[in-house]
Structure 1
Amino acid sequence: MTHPSATDAVPPDGLTVGGAASAVGVTIRTLHHWDEIGLVRASQRSSGGHRLYDASDVARLHRVRVYRELGVALADIGELLDAPADDAEQSLRRQRDQVREQIQRLERSAEALDRLIEARNAGILLSPEEQVAIFGENWQPSWSLQARERWGDSRQWAQAAERAAERSPEDWRRITADVEALHAELAAAVRSGVRPGSPEANALAERHRASIGTYFDCTHSMQVCLGRTYASDPGFRASYEDIEPGLADWLRDIIDANARSHGVDPETATWA
């Protein structure tokens, strides 16, 4: 805000454009623009025809600057300066309400960014107790941190974090229920001898890919890479074998067969 004596140093014959710009703390170009739009025009001219700002001009310039710092649009400032006191007060109240709404929007944006930062670090925005309650007693909260150490620099981790930042515990319960239902159908298909490459197996492979898509966009080539991991990584293999003996290899095989039907050669598939 401007000190009451801010215009005391204005000489009787006025300030040049450069002097007025320096006194108010804006650029000469800004004063020229304000003059062009009729917001603040110099009241005097020098003998050479140059603009000279008197004390009232400089005071108006200070008021314009204050309003600009408050975020008031130039188009509205002129009306505020020239309006009767009551009208100006109503306009200021509207401006104040708009500023408060903007602050609330920015606060919500900051909270969303905080959640995204936390999700990128933690993977899942659930307490350890909530994770065990939702994902099951065998779930280890440390797995999320291990996953971040392994894949934290990947595009897929960033995408998963963006989605996790928007999810509530109820969202995770629904996702978990969907995964458990899929695992049950996969296990039943193994028991009933569903053959890789059959329409039923391909449909299950697509459902599996859609399940991965809950976290990040998964191509058929990427799904093949995941299938290899399920069959070869001891931890993943054990978790699938606990669901149904033979499931890890069978899941890899149906993923490979489905990928072939979509033009992807499992032998040359890459994480892309």
Structure 2
Amino acid sequence: MNGMLYKVGELAKATGLTVRTLHHYDHVGLVRPSGRTYSGHRLYDEPDVRRLYEVLALRQLGLPLEDIGAALAGTSGLGELLERHREHLDRQLVAMRTLHAHLTTMLSTLGEQAGVTDFLALIREVTTVNETVRQYFSETQLAELAERRSRLGDQEDVQRKWQDLIPRVQRAVETGTDPASAEGRELGREWMSLLEAFHGGDPGLRDSLYRMQAENSAEIQHQHGGPSPEQVDFIRRATQG
């Protein structure tokens, strides 16, 4: 810089910022000019320009101006601010992943001739998550489930398979079929295959699913038709060993 001084217009032109932005930074105390001309115009020296660079670097990371001021003043640790910002970005990424999966599902499901009623019904379907489910699955897991749903495509086919399988398992329970028999193990294999389509082998999703079912079995059976504790026990024994 060689001791150069910049008027506000010159600094704005050199940096690509607007004069209004520089005035605002001065007003909120982020970047205050070190000097003034005789007529009162702002003059920025080398330390001021360096300070402006620091502000812009932190602003580029998405930090709000008040956090930038605290960080540069040393009243708040920069590492803490960046960690908080990363957590915010993580939440945004999860939201974007979920939205992308929902849009993919909508595009694959809605035909060109779909009416507004169909569209609104689908929106309700893909955006409404039962509060019970939210108790067991994190936002990241819900985003993963939404992505898996969009990749798998036809969810009605999966639902039909469950509707066919659960009554067959119930008949096996009622007739006293040995879970270790060939019939029992085949039912267990079908059951686990459908569960695999849900959790994709992710142990976290699998454990959350099992815990939700165990703690809400009566409600799940009443509202969604199963599975009952007896059916779950049958499948557990059919898949042992």
TM normalised by structure 1 equals 0.43
**Higher gyration radius (CA):** 1
Greater relative CO (CA pairs within 8 A, separation 6+): 2
**Which structure shows the bigger proportion of residues in helix conformation?**
2
